[in-house]
């Protein structure tokens, strides 16, 4: 039976509705499978893993909105989330199967491709945390893509992964720009602090230091006054990844940037009127000021190694 989400569809199956979280509608759902074959930008991985459907951060440029289960929910991207309630149990079964078939080859997993695994509701449901606990036994190569300081809650588990890369998403160095493009997301400062906290709290003799990327994807404008100070702070990472907005004609990405962002971009004509130049100039400053950091572009930046 097709799931119906109360508030979005007529003829509701209200048992799917659990509660509201802030102004977010929360639904729960039991899934039949969790791991998906990785494609597009991250095709080098065996699987993508999304603990949730929907994302409370609701960034204006998010291409994942295209995967909403209902057209109205696409419109309301950021205002609903579906918890995959039985995810831990399903993950264990799927990883058991993988191990049976590939006893000497741990899987490579990218978490997450179309949601943030550490969006605010994770602080209450701890679903991502439970998935990490399941994964540990299978020794995967794991990449966690997030923009949330909530990840620091799990340091004690994270340090037990031998092959972990954390991709912290920070698309701009200007708080004003962040507030325009992604007003519900954590501050830039809190994301940088989260990375510092992770690095400081993992003792190399007690755990494994994760690799750290800062993903400036898509590269949003940074005001000239903030540029140098921001870029200097990126020394905390071992890799910085930049990428332009997803072009709508590129089918390998399945979906393109949301239309909503076009209006916001108009406010930043000083950057977008010469977008290619702005990109190249920013890249050049990165390369000049971060000699010890790997600077990668687009798909190349999303691999584990
Ligand atoms: S945090 Fe990521 S998945 Fe969530 S809305 Fe923003 S871009 Fe989309």
Compute the CA torsion angle 76, 78, 79, 83 (nearest 10 deg). Answer: 120
Tell me the per-residue pLDDT of 8-48, one tens digit each, with 9 for 90 and over: 876 555 445 566 777 899 999 899 999 999 998 899 999 99
CATH class of segment(s) 16-302 = alpha beta
Averaged over 74-79, what is the pLDDT? Answer: 93
CB 170 within 8 A of CB 242: no
pTM of the model: 0.94
Cα 205 to middle of ligand 1, angstroms: 34
Q: How far is the CA of 255 from the centre of ligand 1 (A)?
A: 13
**Which conformational region is residue 139 in: left (phi greater than 0), alpha (psi within -120 to 50 degrees), or beta?**
left
pLDDT in tens, 102-124: 999 999 999 999 999 999 999 99
Domains of the chain, by residue range, sit at 16-302
Residue 260 has pLDDT above 60, yes or no: yes
| Ligand 1 centroid from CA 57, angstroms | 6
Output the pLDDT for position 3: 72
The whole-number pLDDT of residue 156 equals: 96
| ω into 112 cis (within 30 of 0) | yes
On whether the CB atoms of residues 115 and 84 are closer than 8 A, the answer is no
Cα of 214 to ligand 1 centre, how many Å? 15
Closest to 124 measured CA to CA, from 147, 161, 150: 150
- Among the residue ranges 58-72, 117-131, 137-151, the one predicted with the least confidence is 58-72
pLDDT in tens, 154-175: 999 999 999 999 999 999 999 9
Average pLDDT over residues 183-197: 97
Rounded distance between C-alpha atoms, residue 57 and residue 279, angstroms: 25
Q: Which atom of ligand 1 is nearest to the CA of 65?
A: 8
| Ligand 1 binding pocket mutation candidate from 52, 57, 118, 191 (most atoms within 8 A of CB) | 57
Q: Can you give the pLDDT at residue 23? A: 85
Rounded to the nearest whole angstrom, what is the distance from the C-alpha of residue 217 to the centroid of ligand 1?
11
Nearest residue by C-alpha to atom 3 in ligand 1: 115
How close is the Cα of 210 to the center of ligand 1, in Å? 22
How remote is the CA of residue 55 from the centroid of ligand 1, in Å?
6
pLDDT, position 76: 93
Pocket-testing residue among 41, 53, 62, 110, ligand 1, by greatest number of atoms within 8 A of Cβ: 62
- pLDDT of 220 > 50? The answer is yes
Residue 64 alpha carbon, nearest atom of ligand 1: 8
The rounded percent of the chain whose pLDDT value lies above 90 is 79
> What is the average pLDDT value for the chain, to the nearest integer?
91
- With a Cβ cut-off of 6 Å, ligand 1 is lined by 55, 57-59, 62, 64, 115-116, 147
Cβ neighbours of residue 215 under 8 Å, at least 6 residues apart?
145, 167, 168, 169, 170, 171, 240, 241, 243, 301, 302
Residue 59 pLDDT > 50, yes or no?
A: yes
Best probe residue, ligand 1, of 42, 53, 55 (max atoms within 8 Å of C-beta): 55
CA distance 158 to 164: 8
């Amino acid at each position: 039976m097709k799931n119906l989400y109360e508030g979005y569809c007529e003829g509701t199956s209200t048992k799917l509705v659990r509660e509201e979280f802030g102004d977010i509608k929360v639904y729960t759902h039991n899934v039949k499978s969790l791991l998906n074959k990785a494609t597009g930008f991250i095709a080098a991985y065996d699987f993508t893993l999304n603990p949730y459907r929907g994302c409370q951060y609701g960034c204006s440029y998010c291409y994942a909105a295209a995967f909403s289960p209902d057209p109205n929910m696409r419109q309301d991207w950021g205002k609903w989330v579906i918890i995959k309630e039985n995810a831990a149990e399903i993950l264990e079964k799927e990883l058991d199967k993988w191990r049976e078939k590939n006893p000497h080859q741990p899987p490579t997993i990218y978490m997450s491709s179309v949601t943030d695994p550490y969006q605010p509701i994770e602080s209450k449901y701890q679903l991502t945390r439970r998935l990490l606990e399941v994964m540990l036994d299978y020794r995967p190569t794991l990449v966690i893509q997030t923009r949330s300081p909530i990840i620091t809650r799990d340091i004690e588990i994270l340090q037990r992964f031998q092959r972990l890369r954390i991709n912290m998403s920070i698309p701009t160095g200007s708080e004003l720009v962040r507030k325009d493009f992604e007003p519900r997301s954590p501050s830039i400062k809190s994301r940088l602090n989260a990375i510092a906290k992770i690095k400081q709290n993992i003792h190399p003799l007690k755990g494994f230091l994760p690799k750290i990327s800062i993903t400036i994807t898509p590269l949003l404008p940074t005001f000239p006054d903030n540029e140098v100070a921001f870029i200097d702070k990126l020394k905390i990472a071992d890799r910085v990844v930049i990428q332009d907005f997803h072009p709508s004609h590129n089918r390998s990405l399945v979906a393109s940037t949301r239309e909503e962002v076009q209006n916001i971009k108009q406010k930043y004509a000083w950057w977008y009127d010469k977008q290619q130049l702005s990109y190249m100039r920013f890249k050049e400053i990165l390369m000049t000021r971060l000699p010890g950091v790997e600077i990668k572009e687009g798909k190349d930046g999303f691999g584990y190694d």
